[in-house]
Amino acid sequence: MKELFDVTRLGNLELKNRCLRAATWEGIAEEKGQINDQTLALYADLARGGAAALITGYAFVLEEEQPSPKMFGAYNDTFIDAYKSLTDIVHENDSKIVLQLVYGGSFTWFNTESRVIWGPSAVTNKISGVTPHEMTPLDIQTLINAFGDAARRAMESGFDGVEMHAGHGYLLNQFLSPFFNRREDVFGGSSEKRARIIFDIFENIRKKTAPDFPILIKLNCSDFMGTKGFTFEECLALCKKLDTLGIAGIEISGGPVFRAPKTEKEPTLEVTLPAQDSYFSEYARVIAEAVSAPVILVGGNRSVETMENLLNETEISCFSFSRPLLCEPDLINKWKADKSVKPRCTSCGQCFTLDGNNCIQNREKAA
Ligand SMILES: Cc1cc2nc3c(=O)[nH]c(=O)nc-3n(C[C@H](O)[C@H](O)[C@H](O)COP(=O)(O)O)c2cc1C
């Protein structure tokens, strides 16, 4: 019988249990992406809370491109020393830490007037209203190198791995999507060509890091846009290919996830996710059967019973949690003591605001 608290692995990365903190933008970094004491305190708290590994909020890889305010940066070597303190504090508290890397692209509301925003093609993003500049082959190479350099910095800072964010409507997801990617060169057209940027980034990271440095990816199982978007069949094929390349873990999400602010005066992003437990499990089940790389399921994981049933009925290896740990950073320890504990998180999604995130229940408690 498999259990949530089994020791397991993501490639070279040994995990004390099957629970990860899913990447969660905190909105607490400094303006240019540097971490601070608040960051260290938050990650120490999360590490003490029992998750085997913490995936950071997304970090931008090019200085000019920052999709959200006060997010982590990873775009030059000045970050390395501060990140060493972050990885140390997590390791001292018996957890592991993976840096999530992103290029946001047109799915952004932050500083959109003052910067050049790249896209695979100049297709207007109807959610944000942003029309990106179509990337030249040189821009694409610059970005591939930026991901590789950021991963090298992560390794030098003591991170236990990196995760490419290729889901939720951000740039790598857009390359995968025939709606956003209308290119006719080697980076567009067939599904294999639309995925090429991801393979090139993977190789660039591999070249710049140790041969067994864990590289993870977060993917939409589907964009849920019919054949206009990235489909489940394409996701499955991509996962099989990444498996042959040696991906250390595939985190399965789905998209599009967030709705736009309703008005400028009302900037809360409402999370519109399905309500049922572990809602992408049917997609993750099929993928996990087809690949040897561990599959991590994210989204709506709220019941140990459901997760342990999935562990025993499917090949899914791990589960990641975002909103429940925003509400209760020590939820994993609570589950370790009593598997019947019900998380306080109600999946209301109000934790995500442009002023930084925090759980509405904790806000009410503090007031
Ligand atoms: C406040 C907030 C910030 C998030 N930031 C990120 C992020 O930086 N990178 C990412 O891949 N997903 C991000 N997500 C999505 C979560 O990782 C996760 O996929 C989603 O919330 C569903 O999981 P849950 O039901 O455990 O919350 C964020 C979600 C929330 C609520």
**pLDDT tens track for 96-140:** 999 999 999 999 888 898 899 999 999 999 888 999 999 999 999
Helix axes 232-245, 281-290, angle to 10 degrees: 40
Which residues are paired to 102 by β-bridges? 60
Q: Is it the case that residue 265 has pLDDT exceeding 50?
A: no
Binning pLDDT at 50, 70 and 90, where does residue 351 land?
confident
Q: What is the pLDDT of residues 282-313, one digit of tens each?
A: 999 999 999 999 999 999 999 999 999 999 99
User: Which atom in ligand 1 lies closest to the alpha carbon of residue 323?
Assistant: 27
Closest Cα to atom 4 of ligand 1: 24
Chain-centroid distance of CA 366 in Å reads 29
Q: Is it the case that residue 271 has pLDDT exceeding 70?
A: no
The residue ranking higher by pLDDT, 355 or 118, is 118
Cα(299) to centroid of ligand 1, in Å? Answer: 8
CATH number for the region 18-366 comes to 3.20.20.70
Average pLDDT, the chain: 93
Helix (H, G, I), strand (E, B) or coil at 118: strand
Q: Specify the pLDDT at position 267.
A: 39
Q: Specify the pLDDT at position 367.
A: 62
Q: Which amino acid is at 209?
A: T
Q: Specify the pLDDT at position 362.
A: 86
The residue ranking higher by pLDDT, 187 or 351, is 187
Cα(65) to centroid of ligand 1, in Å? Answer: 20
Q: What is the pLDDT of residues 238-253, one digit of tens each?
A: 999 999 999 999 999 9
List ligand 1's pocket residues with C-beta within 6 A. 22-25, 57-58, 100, 165, 168, 218, 253, 271, 273, 298-301, 321-324, 351-352, 357
Work out the average pLDDT over 60-69. 94
Q: Specify the pLDDT at position 355.
A: 74
Q: Is it the case that residue 259 has pLDDT exceeding 50?
A: no
Q: Specify the pLDDT at position 154.
A: 98
Q: Specify the pLDDT at position 45.
A: 97
Cα(60) to centroid of ligand 1, in Å? Answer: 16
- Residue whose CB lies within 8 A of the most ligand 1 atoms, among 322, 346, 351, for a mutation test: 322
- Residue whose CB lies within 8 A of the most ligand 1 atoms, among 21, 24, 253, for a mutation test: 24
Work out the average pLDDT over 250-265. 64
Q: Specify the pLDDT at position 257.
A: 52
Which residue is it, tokens 């099957």? Answer: 18
Residues 70 and 31: beta-carbon distance below 8 Å: yes
Cα(23) to centroid of ligand 1, in Å? Answer: 6
Contacts of 253 (CB under 8 A, 6+ apart): 167, 168, 218, 219, 220, 221, 280, 298, 299
Cα(151) to centroid of ligand 1, in Å? Answer: 21
Binning pLDDT at 50, 70 and 90, where does residue 364 land?
low
* Dihedral (Cα; 123, 193, 316, 306), 10-degree rounding: 20
Q: Specify the pLDDT at position 215.
A: 98
The residue ranking higher by pLDDT, 356 or 189, is 189
Q: What is the pLDDT of residues 171-205, one digit of tens each?
A: 999 999 999 999 999 999 999 999 999 999 999 99
Cα(253) to centroid of ligand 1, in Å? Answer: 9
Chain-centroid distance of CA 90 in Å reads 18
Cα(24) to centroid of ligand 1, in Å? Answer: 5
Q: Specify the pLDDT at position 365.
A: 66
Q: Is it the case that residue 268 has pLDDT exceeding 50?
A: no
Closest Cα to atom 20 of ligand 1: 299
Q: Where do the domains of the chain lie?
A: 18-366
